[in-house]
Amino acid sequence: MSTPSLLILPGDGIGPEVMAEVVRIIDWYGDKRGLKFDVTTDLVGGAAYDVHGVPLADETMAKAQEVDAVLLGAVGGPKYDVLDFSVKPERGLLRLRKEMDLFANLRPAQCFDALADFSSLKKDVVAGLDIMIVRELTSGIYFGEPRGIITEGNERVGINTQRYTESEIRRVAIAAFELAMKRNKKLTSMEKANVMESGILWRDVVNEVAADYPEVEVGHMYADNGAMQLVRAPKQFDVIVTDNLFGDILSDCAAMLTGSLGMLPSASLGAPMENGRPKAMYEPVHGSAPDIAGQGKANPIACILSFAMALRYSFNEGEEATRLEKAIEKVLADGVRTGDLLAGEGVTPVSTSGMGDAILAAL
Amino acid sequence: MSTPSLLILPGDGIGPEVMAEVVRIIDWYGDKRGLKFDVTTDLVGGAAYDVHGVPLADETMAKAQEVDAVLLGAVGGPKYDVLDFSVKPERGLLRLRKEMDLFANLRPAQCFDALADFSSLKKDVVAGLDIMIVRELTSGIYFGEPRGIITEGNERVGINTQRYTESEIRRVAIAAFELAMKRNKKLTSMEKANVMESGILWRDVVNEVAADYPEVEVGHMYADNGAMQLVRAPKQFDVIVTDNLFGDILSDCAAMLTGSLGMLPSASLGAPMENGRPKAMYEPVHGSAPDIAGQGKANPIACILSFAMALRYSFNEGEEATRLEKAIEKVLADGVRTGDLLAGEGVTPVSTSGMGDAILAAL
Ligand SMILES: CC(C)[C@H](C(=O)O)[C@@H](O)C(=O)O
Ligand SMILES: CC(C)[C@H](C(=O)O)[C@@H](O)C(=O)O
């Protein structure tokens, strides 16, 4: 195979500085492990708007379609809050998800032993937590039509449409069942089938797919109960599959249980390309954190772990991914910490690039 | 004024047994405090379906429209899972909310000192927690049209519509600001204005209403961040206002933070009737808990506190409401506990009616 290609979109806020550390890791893999990547860098979000007047230029979109994987930092910032909806930084991200058809968003919520104390939850409730949330990412109320703000009589009406086809539900359900098979063979699907017909269809299709995975124990939960159960006893879950909007909220809720948002990566996967690799974009779960941007305070680990997910899911380099994850665990066990995780004894505070140094040293 | 009227709808599962304790409290108020109520009892949910073939008979709906307040227990149970969507127990509840036009659902998330240990969160994160979530209850994706499961080509498509008019947002925002004025003058509105146009309209209208309440400090948060912040540091909030679907999930998440779901009441309020009282329904936040139904194990406190909310919001008997709340606090401080809250030293286990006895004794 030719050298695999990566498109790097650092984006806004802390995006560029955390991505800079990822680039150092990528270079290390090229130099030391013979894993070379063909890297292109481009703009997304507010950074793209500043240059092109849109949060994702057509040429950037075209590149994203061609590469083997996209790595994205973060988008958004107060400077762009005044922009019209259609050109807000988020639209760049949503366009990538939609046009690359990245329907399966994998969001691990993992509690790192060394960091369990950072959770607002009791240690025994979260220590060892390891959940995988599979969120549908290309449909539902994020993209459904009709949408907009219309005028009726003399008042405005805000409209959005939740819309799911059988095949949209089926493909993300299959992705979730496949993951469940590789993990603990336990899957919980969440919707509001007691209130929404789209939830009824969701539940039906998940049950249909379940027939092909007799080994997987399948449960269904209403999304409100799901939120409660995540807070009450998160370790009851292994893989969770849910729609775009519920997934947005529930995966953030699950992420916060771990107490270390700066640690959590995500993968967004689509259908296989001609070379067999899935269309893919990798990004940290945290946002652009404009309040600390440009100060060398940001934790680059979530973004680096997103690259580890790329190694695993796009490049079939599971062992190299594990190597990187283990290096990060070691650094954390050694007490090396960015500003988001400073409390505790025997802790060595480092900057964003100091964390990169430590991880490279551990590699 | 003539004797105020109450319609009691115990519903399914543990509904009847917790409501039985409320009836004893109501009787106590009639006997001892001269607060007499004209009480009618009727069916809702599965219990109504069993008799009428629908989860709320038209005559019951008509009664609900006439009384000063409705007290509801809980609806639903596995026996009814097979029913068609249109006659599921939940539809009875949703019909009451919609036809009585109960647009403001007040869900306090309060952590009782005596019970802070039951939370899965660290004690210092939740001790003293006292949030009021105001959830819009009559619109949004719960009721928007078009909805249903249609066939397109050869596949099914599930559709629901989020739809909010300006006036629907305005009236619930006003309710939330009024509450904020009586509390700590701090209000956080939650939506997904970065993704949904209905969220943009929501934010705009909340800002318009804010102009009439210059003393209230107003914040806006995306609902996913809201879920994270609730888990991370819930005491940063005082009053939260949000739409029907986000409110469903976020209020359950907030409720679970307190660790004692069996303790949390809710009030659903509409416009003032001719006698000045608002249309109103009161219900515990917990569900019908079919697994423990009929065994005398259920905690009646959430349902009793719902009656306390009725005293306060429907009958202007704030002092009597406080009397009841104080009696419950005393009973808890004395270590009297139903099965959901048994752990700990110096605890006296009681049945559902034993809890009723203890509260009556404390009154
Ligand atoms: C930035 C925003 C559009 C996005 C979303 O709502 O999906 C974010 O919250 C996420 O979860 O990736
Ligand atoms: C029972 C169900 C229809 C209801 C809802 O979704 O509103 C419940 O979850 C609630 O929050 O009162």
Question: For strand A104-110 and strand A265-272, is the pairing parallel, antiparallel, or unpaired?
Answer: antiparallel
CB contact under 8 A, A120 and B167: no
Q: Which stretches of A39-189 are DSSP H helices?
A: 46-52, 58-66, 89-99, 123-126, 166-182
End-to-end CA distance of chain B: 26
Q: Read off φ and ψ for residue B114, nearest 5 degrees.
A: -65, -15
**pLDDT tens by residue, chain A, 363 residues:** 689 999 999 999 999 999 999 999 999 999 999 999 999 999 999 999 999 999 999 999 999 999 999 999 999 999 998 899 999 999 999 999 999 999 999 999 999 888 888 999 999 999 999 999 999 999 999 999 999 999 999 999 999 999 999 999 999 999 999 999 999 999 999 999 999 999 999 999 999 999 999 999 999 999 999 999 999 999 999 999 999 999 999 999 999 999 888 899 999 999 999 999 999 999 999 999 999 999 999 999 999 999 999 999 999 999 999 999 999 999 999 999 999 888 777 899 999 999 999 999 999
Dist CA B179 CA B108 (whole Å): 11
- Using CA coordinates, name the residue in chain A closest to B225: A252
Protein residue with its CA nearest to atom 7 in ligand 1: A248
Residue A282 annotated in ligand binding: no
Residue B29 annotated among the catalytic residues of the structure: no
Tell how far CA B203 is from the center of its chain: 24
Torsion-angle region of residue A66: left (phi > 0), alpha (psi -120 to 50) or beta?
Answer: alpha
Share of chain B above pLDDT 90, in %: 94
Q: Which pLDDT score, from 0 to 100, does residue B341 have? A: 87
What is the mean pLDDT of the segment spanning B121-144?
97
Atom of ligand 2 nearest to the CA of A224: 9
> Which residue ranges make up each domain of chain B?
1-108+264-363, 130-257
Superfamily for domain range B1-108+264-363: Isopropylmalate Dehydrogenase (3.40.718.10)
Instruction: Judge if the beta carbon of residue B90 lies within 6 A of ligand 2.
Output: yes
- A1-106+264-363 CATH, one of 3.40.640.10, 2.40.128.120, 3.30.1310.10, 3.40.718.10: 3.40.718.10
Separation of B201 CA from ligand 1 center, angstroms? 19
Cα A147 to Cα A81, B192, B198: the distances in Å are 20, 14, 8
Dihedral sign for Cα atoms in the order B6, B10, B15, B16? positive
Atom of ligand 1 nearest to the CA of A247: 11
Q: Which pLDDT score, from 0 to 100, does residue B113 have? A: 84
| Residue of B80, B143, B157, B341 to mutate for A, most A C-beta atoms under 10 A | B157
- Residue B309: pLDDT band (50, 70, 90) is very high
Share of chain B above pLDDT 70, in %: 100
Instruction: Judge if the beta carbon of residue A3 lies within 6 A of ligand 2.
Output: no
| Residue of A75, A245, A285, A286 to mutate for B, most B C-beta atoms under 10 A | A245
Atom of ligand 2 nearest to the CA of B105: 12
What is the SS3 assignment for B180?
Answer: helix
Separation of A248 CA from ligand 1 center, angstroms? 7
Q: Which pLDDT score, from 0 to 100, does residue A179 have? A: 97
Q: Tell me the pLDDT tens digit for each residue of B136-166.
A: 999 999 999 999 999 999 999 999 999 999 9
Structure tokens at A359: 């991880």
Task: Give the type of residue at A186.
Answer: K
Q: In angstroms, what separates the C-alpha of A10 from chain B's closest C-alpha?
A: 20
Residue B350 annotated in ligand binding: no
Atom of ligand 2 nearest to the CA of B266: 12
Asked if domains B1-108+264-363 and B130-257 share a fold, the reply is yes
Dist CA A266 CA B71 (whole Å): 45
Dist CA A263 CA A340 (whole Å): 10
Q: Which residues of chain B neighbour A135 with C-beta distances below 8 Å?
A: none
Dist CA A194 CA A190 (whole Å): 11
- Residue B47: pLDDT band (50, 70, 90) is very high
Dist CA B90 CA B74 (whole Å): 9
Q: Which pLDDT score, from 0 to 100, does residue A12 have? A: 98
CB contact under 8 A, A256 and B194: no
Residue B299 annotated in ligand binding: yes
Q: Which pLDDT score, from 0 to 100, does residue A81 have? A: 87
Q: Which pLDDT score, from 0 to 100, does residue B1 have? A: 61
Separation of B189 CA from ligand 1 center, angstroms? 18
Instruction: Judge if the beta carbon of residue A317 lies within 6 A of ligand 1.
Output: no
- Which residue among the candidates B142, B164, B282, B313 is catalytic per the annotation? B142
Residue B326 annotated among the catalytic residues of the structure: no
CB contact under 8 A, A201 and B149: yes
Q: Which pLDDT score, from 0 to 100, does residue A114 have? A: 84
Q: Which residues of chain A neighbour B256 with C-beta distances below 8 Å?
A: 227-228, 231-232
| Dihedral of the alpha carbons of A190, A302, A3, A316, in degrees to the nearest 10 | -50
Do the Cβ atoms of A341 and A115 come closer than 8 Å? yes
Q: Which pLDDT score, from 0 to 100, does residue A197 have? A: 97
A290-315 in b/e burial notation, b at 16+ Cβ within 10 A?
Answer: bebbeebbbbbbbbbbbbbbbbbbbb
- Using CA coordinates, name the residue in chain A closest to B124: A120
Residue B49 annotated among the catalytic residues of the structure: no
Protein residue with its CA nearest to atom 10 in ligand 2: B248
What pTM value is reported for the model? 0.96
Q: Tell me the pLDDT tens digit for each residue of B16-44.
A: 999 999 999 999 999 999 999 999 999 99
Assigned CATH topology for domain A130-257: Isopropylmalate Dehydrogenase (3.40.718)
Q: Which pLDDT score, from 0 to 100, does residue A345 have? A: 78
Instruction: Judge if the beta carbon of residue A248 lies within 6 A of ligand 1.
Output: yes
- Residue B346: pLDDT band (50, 70, 90) is confident
Asked if the bond preceding A146 is cis, omega within 30° of 0, the reply is: yes
Do the Cβ atoms of A264 and A258 come closer than 8 Å? yes
What are the DSSP E strand ranges found in chain A?
5-11, 38-41, 69-74, 104-110, 130-136, 144-152, 155-165, 186-191, 217-222, 239-242, 265-272, 278-284, 336-337, 348-349
CB contact under 8 A, B231 and A120: yes
Q: Which pLDDT score, from 0 to 100, does residue A1 have? A: 61
Do the Cβ atoms of A241 and A186 come closer than 8 Å? no
